[in-house]
Chains A and B, each alone.
Chain A
Amino acid sequence: METIKLRAENLDLYFGKKQILKNVNINFPANQVTSLIGPSGCGKSTLLRTFNRMHDLIPEAKIDGKLFLDDLDLYDKKNSVTAIRKRIGMVFQKPNPLPKSIYDNLSYALKIHNYPVQQIPELIENALKESFLWDEVKEELKKPAVKLSGGQQQRLCIARTTVIRPEVILMDEPCSALDPISTKKIEELILKLKKDFTIVIVTHNMQQAQRISDKVAFMYLGELIEFDTCDAIFHHPKNELTHRYIGGHFG
């Protein structure tokens, strides 16, 4: 029996009067890669961002329902949002390195979260090795991170997320701005990272979803239509909509 790491119960989300998510119930198993697929505007990214409370900054966003990380109620006022975000990291669509050096991009969060100073260099080296970036940047850790290529920047952003050892990593179309070779590297990285992290990824790329996912959730117009193993979704979809979507009939 797999353990459930992250779950949403009866989740409704509104931006102003517009309902974006409709009664979503979903369980994300620990140490697996779950892909969220569906046509643009179906609420995949919105759902992803509810888990690390990225909607907090949007005043018109209203959330009903419950979200849990293990047994922690994510929207309970008692729980600190920064502690939640430390446990649930996020990688964004466009690489967004901080305007600092490669090294400081990783050291920044470690310092903020009060890691002992003498451990920091080692943690950074490990995170960069884990993201297959160490060999490419070890000579120039002081270089501004924005000077790296797009693919390197995205791997740096993943390393920046993993260096503080969250439990869950949310990825919002992390490869959509990258070339095929960089995409391949990131996919290899994702498969490696699932040993240590629970990964939820939004993707528009059906081949990518098949290559990396253990489970796949298909969403349409704010509703979760079908949620099953990767094999079941792509080869024996139960729902007609899912069948038509993965067959490329609409999207």
Chain B
Amino acid sequence: MIKKRLFNTFNWIILCGSTLTVCMFLGVILWDIFSKGFSSVSWDFVTLFPTDGMTKGGILPAIVGTVILTFITTLFSVPFGVACAIYLNEYARPSVLTNIIRASIRNLAGIPSIIYGLFGLALFVQALHLGTSVLSAGLTLGLLSLPYIITTTEEALKRIPNSLREATLALGVTQVETIKDVVLPKALPGILTGVILTLSRAAGETAPILFTGVAFYINGVSASLNQEFMALPYHLYMLSTQHNAIEQVRPLAYGTATVLILLVFSLNIVAFYVRFKNRTQD
């Protein structure tokens, strides 16, 4: 009896301890970045251009670059990804071929992001002559995001019970109308959550944009899709490892990290809100 109780307590300590350790790491990282970064984040920091060889001024072009980049990624990956998931879940009949397609998509999600960078360089920059540009980089990130969007969308569609599809089909409603009017609206919160989490991950990627269009410094905010651009993760990388006055720009690097984390956090909070709202609805 006592032995059993001791064993249970021991188990509890192991499990609870693991959870606490994980949370502690997260806490330490956030504390480190926020405590050192918040002092450099100011209104000027997010609205001004960098000056004096990056040692002064703000990071406006990097913020704008990341926003435009994420926008292009969204435009490319969401329609294709959602359409692909609809096909796989609603139309494709189970066969060896569809299983191979599904397995390939899952495997694509496991490919290191630097490989996507190289692929983007070969396909968009060179073969399609898009050059190193925000368009090439956005499309590359789109490719990277596709498998995640397809998988999460398919999961969201799978959670819709078949009885709901049968309900409208039995009324003489076509399959397309059923998907458009019943299945998609019901799955929308799940799809949006997946999309937002994927995009927040893509927004923080450095490797895929390294070869395809990001630049250390751009004079002015570029509005054109075929020009190079600045992005927050790459800016952070440059400030913290490649700059010739590393000690001097360290506060700026921490400030950049803070802004990037806040950006990604706000996307996550939107996803959280969407999920929460859906849960309280039914």
Q: Across the interface, name the chain A residue whose C-beta is closest to B161.
A: A96
With contacts A92-B163, A92-B166, A94-B163 taken as known, whether A112 is within 8 angstroms of B172 at the C-beta atoms is yes
**From B164, which residue of chain A is reached at the shortest CB distance?**
A96
How far apart are A160's CB and chain B's nearest CB, in angstroms? Answer: 7
The 9 listed contacts between A and B (C-beta, < 8 Å) are A54-B170, A82-B173, A84-B172, A85-B172, A90-B170, A97-B167, A108-B181, A113-B172, A161-B171
What residues on A are CB-neighbors of B186 within 8 Å?
A: 99
Main secondary structure of the interface of B (DSSP, over half): helix
Q: Is A98 an interface residue (CB 8 A)?
A: yes
Given A54-B166, A92-B166, A96-B164: A83 and B172 interface contact (C-beta under 8 Å): yes
A242 to B164 Cα, complex, angstroms: 35
**Cα–Cα, bound, A112→B167 (Å):** 14
A49-B165 Cα distance, complex, nearest whole Å: 14
Chain A residues positioned under 8 Å from B94 (CB to CB): 59
CB of A109 closer than 8 Å to a CB of B: yes
Q: Determine if B174 is an interface residue (Cβ-Cβ < 8 Å).
A: yes
Quick one: which of A84, A89, A99, A164 contacts B164, CB cutoff 8 A? A99
On chain A, the residues within 8 Å of B282 by CB distance are: 99, 146
Task: Report A108 CB to chain B, min CB distance, Å.
Answer: 7
- In this complex, the member of A59, A109, A161 whose beta carbon has the largest number of chain B beta carbons within 10 angstroms is A109
Please provide the 10 A-B residue pairs with the shortest distance between their CB atoms, ordered closest to farther. A86-B172, A90-B170, A85-B172, A109-B171, A96-B163, A96-B167, A82-B172, A59-B93, A99-B186, A112-B173
User: Complex Cα distance A108/B94, Å?
Assistant: 31
Q: Return chain A residues, CB-CB under 8 Å to B93.
A: 59
Contact string against B for A residues 163-202, beta-carbon threshold 8 Å, 1 for contact and 0 otherwise: 0100000000000000000000000000000000000000
Is residue B185 within 8 Å, beta carbon to beta carbon, of the partner chain?
yes
Residues of A within 8 A of B182 (CB): 98-99
Do the beta carbons of B167 and A82 come within 8 Å of each other? no
Which residue from A57, A99, A109, A161 sits with its C-beta under 8 Å from B185?
A99
Q: A59-B93, A59-B94, A146-B282 are in contact. Are A164 and B172 (CB under 8 A)?
A: yes
Chain B window 10-34, contacts with chain A (Cβ cutoff 8 Å), 1 for yes, 0 for no = 0000000000000000000000000
Apart from A57-B165, A99-B282, list 11 A-B contacts with CB within 8 A.
Answer: A86-B172, A89-B171, A92-B166, A92-B167, A98-B167, A108-B173, A109-B171, A109-B172, A112-B171, A161-B170, A164-B172
User: Within residues 75 to 105 of chain A, which ones have a CB less than 8 A from any CB in chain B?
Assistant: 82-87, 89-90, 92, 94, 96-99
**A108 lies within 8 A of B168 (CB):** yes
Chain A minimum-CB-distance residue to B281: A144
Beta-carbon contacts under 8 Å, A56-70 to B: 57, 59
Most buried by B among A52, A96, A164: A96
